Chain A
Amino acid sequence: MATTDERLPIVGEGDIVRARQRAREIAKGLGFGLVDQSRIATAVSELTRNVVRYATGGKGDVSIKSLSGSGIEIVVSDHGPGIADVEQALRDGFSSGAGMGMGLPGAKRLMDEMHVDSELGSGTTVTIRKWRR
């Protein structure tokens, strides 16, 4: 069972689909059921779209890895402008319908864990994890 990091670049819109499809495949391989596969793929879609739409130059990368074979961890990072107020983005980024924070609350709801590391002017790294039940 391979536990090596899988790293995918986020350069354009096509990478949103590529990343979420890959995440789904890996989740399936780890034994996640259909619904969890959907949750994981959707969360990855939300986060990578954020990068494509709002990160400066729209570039970043996604890394997907297994957590001791019973969980999945995905890290989406970019060197965009960063999120000014992460708390606020998590609260109402969803309803405001625009800006870097959109997609974060959605991803958080779908995953077991989410950590956001963001520094203005430097970039954002979002880590999400889910465990098999």
Chain B
Amino acid sequence: MARVPVIRLGATLIATVLEDLQDSDALDLQENLSAALERTGAEGVLLDISVVETVDSFLGRLLNDVAAAARLLGAVTVVVGVQPAVAITLVELGLGLSGVHTALTVEKGMALLERLLASARRQGRYGNY
């Protein structure tokens, strides 16, 4: 069974997908992240899917759901590493992942999270992510 390690870096949780996920692994990831957010009060989630070659409608929807649940738990989510072929396929499936922020790399993703969190703090904690 593939596990997705979730590590904490300051106020951010970083989850790196290491291999092709089965449906139950993806659901576990969603649960683990939500639990971790509740437990730690982290404000940011970085989800690294750069090794994922196939993102179908199930995983696509799950990514949206992860971001939606994170938002309710007071955190903003950035997905990084969407491969070009995956991006094109998702768009053709009609899934733009509009509920999720994205960045090309982990580095850019962390920078984006910083900007989003800084702007949220300026607007007051309950600003719209």
Q: How many angstroms from the CA of A42 to the CA of B54 in the assembled complex? A: 6
Interface residue from B22, B57, B88, B93 paired with A17 (Cβ < 8 Å): B22
Q: Are A14 and B89 in contact (CB under 8 A)?
A: no
Determine the chain B residues whose CB is within 8 A of the CB of A110 once the complex forms: 89, 92-93
Q: Are B57 and A14 in contact (CB under 8 A)?
A: no
A37 at the interface (CB under 8 A from B): yes
B31 at the interface (CB under 8 A from A): no
Q: Are A45 and B56 in contact (CB under 8 A)?
A: yes
Do A41 and B53 form a contact, CB below 8 Å, given A16-B23, A49-B23?
A: yes
Determine the chain A residues whose CB is within 8 A of the CB of B84 once the complex forms: 34-35
Nearest-Cβ distance from residue A85 to partner chain B, whole angstroms: 20
B residues 1-41 touching A (CB-CB < 8 Å): 20-24
Q: Are B24 and A38 in contact (CB under 8 A)?
A: no
Number of chain B residues whose Cβ lies closer than 8 Å to a Cβ of chain A: 20
Do A35 and B56 form a contact, CB below 8 Å, given A16-B22, A42-B93, A109-B92?
A: no
Determine the chain A residues whose CB is within 8 A of the CB of B92 once the complex forms: 39, 109-110
Q: How many angstroms from the CA of A35 to the CA of B92 in the assembled complex? A: 11
Q: Are B85 and A37 in contact (CB under 8 A)?
A: yes
B45 at the interface (CB under 8 A from A): no
User: Considering only CB atoms, which chain A residue lies closest to B89 in the complex?
Assistant: A38
Q: Are B22 and A35 in contact (CB under 8 A)?
A: no
A56 at the interface (CB under 8 A from B): no
The interface of chain A, by Cβ under 8 A from chain B, is 13-14, 16-17, 20-21, 24, 34-35, 37-39, 41-42, 45-46, 49, 94, 102-103, 106, 109-110
**Contacts A13-B24, A35-B89, A106-B57 supplied; 5 other A-B pairs, CB < 8 Å:** A16-B23, A20-B54, A39-B89, A45-B54, A94-B94
What are 25 of the A-B contact pairs (CB < 8 Å)?
A13-B23, A16-B22, A17-B20, A17-B21, A20-B54, A24-B53, A34-B85, A35-B85, A35-B88, A37-B53, A38-B53, A38-B89, A39-B89, A42-B54, A42-B56, A46-B56, A46-B57, A49-B56, A94-B57, A102-B57, A103-B57, A106-B93, A106-B94, A110-B89, A110-B92
